Amino acid sequence: MSLYDAYIGLLSLILLTCLASLSMQRLRPLIKTVALQGIAVTMTTLLYQQNVHFLLPFIMIIVKGVLIPMLLLYTLKKVSIKSEGKPIVGFHASVLLGILFLFMVIHYSHDKLSKLLADQSFSFSVAVVTIACGLFLMMARRKALTQVVGYLIMDNGIYLMGALFLKNIPFVLEFAILLDLLVAVMVMGIILHKINETFNSIDTTSLATLKDRWHE
């Protein structure tokens, strides 16, 4: 098995985790899937980029694969919910849409962008699908925790895209993004906790009711 095979395998693993995250109802496996995806995304850079700073992958694996999922799992325990109830777009429909979008992207990157991308059209498609999958999760799910997970998946996609187009990932920039991400997840954890305290659920549709519940 050559290095290129391992690279393709990692990309297909990322695709699988994307489609799996679209179909998952329970939140605990969803968070674990995203952790796996974060690790896989980091490993692709290890294989793909030649002169990447040696600290970056380690810190990325720790932040994306351990720290953020642990924070999310902690929040999950605090808000004591187990699953995404009734999403706006159903789980099966989401997966079918994901497959459809995957085909469209692959087709487009083969036909229209093949000159621009050369041999990287597949990695490009994977990155686009990952971003779209994250966006879709943020739009089509009601629970705030799933939306945070969607945000993380989108970040993975953006990172993949960046790694694709930049020969050298700027070290400082990537750390800044990682730190932002960590802080964002922490803040979202606190906000989730507050939402849960106020409405007794983390359903974001209840945020749209603008009545002041405290004084009723």
Partner 1 sequence: MKHLFFALIMIAFAPLLMSLIARVKAIFAGKVGLPWFFYYHTLLKLLQKTPVISMHTTAIFTTAPLINLAVMLFLFAFLPLANYRPLLSFYGDIFVVIAFLALARIFSLLAAFDTASSFSAMGAARDVFYSMLAEIVLFTIFIIFFRLTNDLSLATFAIEGKIELFARSTFFPLLLVAVSFFMLLLQENARVPIDDPNTHLELTMIDEVKILDYSGPYLAFMQLSLFLKLLFYSCFLANLLFSQSLVTQLCTIALSLDSNSYPLLYAFFKNLIFIALVSAIYIAIAVIESSMARLALKKIPKYSLSALVLAVLAAILMWRNV
Q: Interface with partner 1 by CB under 8 A: which residues? A: 1, 5, 8-9, 12, 15-16, 19, 23, 91-92, 95-96, 99, 102-103, 106, 110, 121-122, 125
For the CA atoms of the chain, what is the radius of gyration? 18
One-letter amino acid identity for 171? F
Place of tokens 């659920």: 201
Residue 2 or 209: the one with the smaller Cβ distance to partner 1 is: 2
Residue 94 or 196: the one with the smaller Cβ distance to partner 1 is: 94
Nearest approach in angstroms of CB 121 to partner 1 is 7
Nearest approach in angstroms of CB 22 to partner 1 is 10
- Tell me how far apart the alpha carbons of residues 207 and 216 are, in angstroms, rounded to a whole number: 16
- Tell me how far apart the alpha carbons of residues 15 and 10 are, in angstroms, rounded to a whole number: 9
**The two three-digit tokens of residue 67, written as one number:** 């720290």
- Tell me how far apart the alpha carbons of residues 188 and 198 are, in angstroms, rounded to a whole number: 15
- For every residue of 98-166, which 3-state class applies, written as one string? HHHHHHHHHHHHHHCCHHHHHHHHHHHHHHHHHHHHHHHHHHHCCEHHHHHHHHHHHHHHHHHHHHHHC
Residue 78 or 92: the one with the smaller Cβ distance to partner 1 is: 92
Residue 74 or 103: the one with the smaller Cβ distance to partner 1 is: 103
Nearest approach in angstroms of CB 39 to partner 1 is 18
Nearest approach in angstroms of CB 122 to partner 1 is 4
Residue 103 or 165: the one with the smaller Cβ distance to partner 1 is: 103
Nearest approach in angstroms of CB 111 to partner 1 is 12
